């Protein structure tokens, strides 16, 4: 496994003073990575708790419009559970960036909806650039889609960074490039030579129903996401330039040659009520 690099100082995500003070899981470089990771592991056995169940320590929120303010209480914590109302597009993010890790998120849908269609959110990986870099809504990133019937899809949220992945798969009648392991790999890039490519940035996962539609409560015959109100577990393994998406123990999507390959981690607010009880990171 690759060494774990957290909050690389040269990336501008963390200062050396913060690093040496032990804020979050910051690591300045490979030379000090083992000691810093060991120190955090001693404090949090089993992994690094990105959400501690008590407050927003190590996290911040950003919404399209209010920015860093949250006048409508889109993000609240009660009895160890983070509630994301979905009322306003935006996200909750780690203060610092990460590289080479496995993240586990336990979540379930609520009943409240602020838009038509299926319940929608996402786990944002390798977030980079300024807040709201994608349409003003979210940070530029590679999204692990959390969407009724489509949880496990990849979406490339690009602004100026040039987000790209390479995936084994095939084009289908829905005009989307679907993940199919063993098929020839193709690059899905949002930009080439600084110019938008116009390539579809949704990569459906292995088990997505061919008749999927954005419909409230949609479930396909091979859907591994649990029904509304039940807890789901998603895992993303970010190992160097490869991301593997796992839903309730099922590997459903995989991308290689991912760019960017490090950055902040976030959860979207995207029109549907969502509850989070665990966000835990394990260095590789």
Q: What is the pLDDT along the chain (284 residues), one digit of tens a residue?
A: 444 434 332 233 332 223 223 333 332 222 222 223 333 333 345 799 999 999 999 999 999 999 999 999 999 999 999 999 999 999 999 999 999 999 999 999 999 999 999 999 999 999 999 999 999 999 999 999 999 999 999 999 998 889 999 999 999 999 999 999 999 999 999 988 888 887 878 999 999 999 999 999 999 999 999 999 999 999 999 999 999 999 999 999 999 999 999 999 999 999 999 999 999 999 99
What stretch of H or E contains 19? helix 16-21
| 27 CB-contact burial (10 Å; exposed 0-12 / middle 13-18 / buried 19+) | buried
The answer to whether 142 and 157 are in contact (CB under 8 A) is: yes
What stretch of H or E contains 186? strand 185-189
Confidence (pTM): 0.85
């Amino acid at each position: 496994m690759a060494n774990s690099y957290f909050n690389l100082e040269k990336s501008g995500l963390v200062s050396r003073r913060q690093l040496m003070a032990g804020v979050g899981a910051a690591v300045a470089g490979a030379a000090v990575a083992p000691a810093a990771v060991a120190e955090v592991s001693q404090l949090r056995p089993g992994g690094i708790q990105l959400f501690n169940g008590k407050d927003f320590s190590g996290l911040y929120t950003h919404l399209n419009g209010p920015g860093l303010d949250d006048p409508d209480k889109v993000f609240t914590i009660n009895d160890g559970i983070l509630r994301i109302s979905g009322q306003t597009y935006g996200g909750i993010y780690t203060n610092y960036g990460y590289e080479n890790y496995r993240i586990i998120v336990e979540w379930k849908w609520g009943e409240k909806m602020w838009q038509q269609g299926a319940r929608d959110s996402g786990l944002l990986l390798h977030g980079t650039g300024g807040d709201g870099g994608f349409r003003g809504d979210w940070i530029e990133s590679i999204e692990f889609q959390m969407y009724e019937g489509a949880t496990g899809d990849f979406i490339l949220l690009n602004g100026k960074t040039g987000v790209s992945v390479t995936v084994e798969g095939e084009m289908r009648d829905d005009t989307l490039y679907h993940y199919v392991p063993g098929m020839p790999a193709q690059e899905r890039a949002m930009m080439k030579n600084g110019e938008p490519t116009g390539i579809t940035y949704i990569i459906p996962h292995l088990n997505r129903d061919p008749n999927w539609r954005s419909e409230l409560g949609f479930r396909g015959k091979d859907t591994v996401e649990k029904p509304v109100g039940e807890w789901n577990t998603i895992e993303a393994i970010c190992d160097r330039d490869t991301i593997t998406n796992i839903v309730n123990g099922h590997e459903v999507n995989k991308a290689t040659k991912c760019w960017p390959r490090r950055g902040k981690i976030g959860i979207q607010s995207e029109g549907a009520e969502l509850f989070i009880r665990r966000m835990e990171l394990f260095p590789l």
